[in-house]
Amino acid sequence: MKRKRTSVDGVGRDQSESIWRLVRRWGVPIAWLTLCVVWSSTWLVIKIGLRDLPPISYAGIRFLVAIIVLFIVSAGRVSLLPRRGFDYLLLAFTGVLMFAVNYGLLFWGELHVSSGLAAVLQATIPMFGMLFAHLMLPDEPLQLPKLLGALVALGGVAMICERLLGFNGFMAFWGGLGIIFGAAGAAFSNVLLKARAIQLAPAMIAAWQMIFGTAPLLLTGFMVEGNPLKFRWSAVAVACLLYLAIIGSALTFLLLYWLLPRMTVARLQAISLITPPGAVALGWAVGGETFSIWSLLGACLVLAGVWMIFRKEDQPEPVIQEG
């Protein structure tokens, strides 16, 4: 009996070691592809959910669910609380910029802008981040290739906004500008967070930012859009909300921070170049969205500029661009 049990135990250890070898071999590429696919899809899911749910409350409830999931997953594994009182102030300020301002404007903007173009406009985060880093981080001066990349991306943004104003109406133009303004706020949040390092697990940084950013979203939504219990909670709306909260927020944040020490920066940041074309393709194939030639050309310029900014990057940036 002892000999048999030892054999079984040996088989179990061999199976366990085989599983871990598979995880080490395929875990990184699978996680990277998952981020690409999920972040390409969130833009269209936001658009679909907006058919039934008002934008501000929709964003707020999404992150409320994501907060609960992040704390459940992290409890007992990492420290849940910041160590210093100043950390709470920093997390509050950056959380309002990242989640209340950025995502509030993004969800509102997608009422008037296609999901694909919203993804492209959010891809300007690295452009703004580069400019803020030049002003706030002494070891990241502005370099000519990055400046040229920013100018190329800015030209693409101008082309898209001109198309929105000329062919999609005044509200589409303001929706596009709102998304760009939110992207600038997210970039400033990222740079400020790097300049004032916080000793806290990355997942908990995201969770606390969500807490401070979600509170004004929920309050504003209740005041402007009414009681969430009276919203049109269709099956599609609930599915979109849960997908964005659990898959598009909690899971992607955990995967992103898991990948940071395991991938080169260039490959990780390549996600920022893949998700906008993916969002445009899904918007066209599934959402029935159409794009003018000039809008697509502007999108190509934005992505080309972002690639120029990333091309010679050496240090990891906490760039979070999921929809």
Banded model confidence at residue 314, pLDDT cuts 50, 70, 90: very low
- Closest-CA residue to 53 (of 229, 205, 180, 223): 229
Category of 288 on φ-ψ map: left (φ > 0), alpha (ψ -120 to 50) or beta: left
Give residue-wise pLDDT tens across range 196-214. Answer: 878 787 778 888 999 999 9
Residue 286 lies in a domain: yes
Q: Is the distance from CB of 247 to CB of 65 less than 8 angstroms?
A: no
Residue 16 domain-assigned?
no
Domain presence at residue 5: no
Of 186, 155, 199, give the one whose Cα is nearest residue 322: 186
22 assigned to some structural domain: no
**161: containing domain:** 38-310
Measured between alpha carbons, how far is 208 from 74 in angstroms, rounded to an integer?
A: 12
1-27: average pLDDT: 57
> What domain count does the chain have?
1
Q: Which of 275, 102, 87 is nearest to 189 (CA)?
A: 102
Residue 15: its pLDDT value, please? 58
- Given a cut of 60, whether residue 4 has pLDDT beyond it is no
Smallest CA-to-CA distance from 221 within 51, 65, 58, 68 is with: 58
Domain assignment present for residue 315? The answer is no
Full-prediction pTM beyond 0.75? yes
In tens, the pLDDT along 178-191 reads 999 999 999 899 88
pLDDT tens per residue, range 123-178:
888 888 888 888 888 877 878 887 888 888 888 888 887 777 766 678 888 998 99
Angle, CA 308 vertex, CA 303 and CA 312 arms, to 5°: 135
Residue 12 lies inside a defined structural domain of this protein: no
pLDDT digits (tens, 9 = 90+) for 54-100: 999 999 999 999 999 988 888 777 777 887 888 899 999 999 999 99
Residue 174 · residue 83 · CB < 8 Å: no
Q: What digits encode the pLDDT tens for the residues 17-61?
A: 665 566 566 778 888 889 989 999 999 999 999 999 999 999 999
Residue pair 37/271 in contact (Cβ under 8 Å)? The answer is no
Domain contains 320: no
Amino acid, res. 85: G
pLDDT at residue 105 tops 80: yes
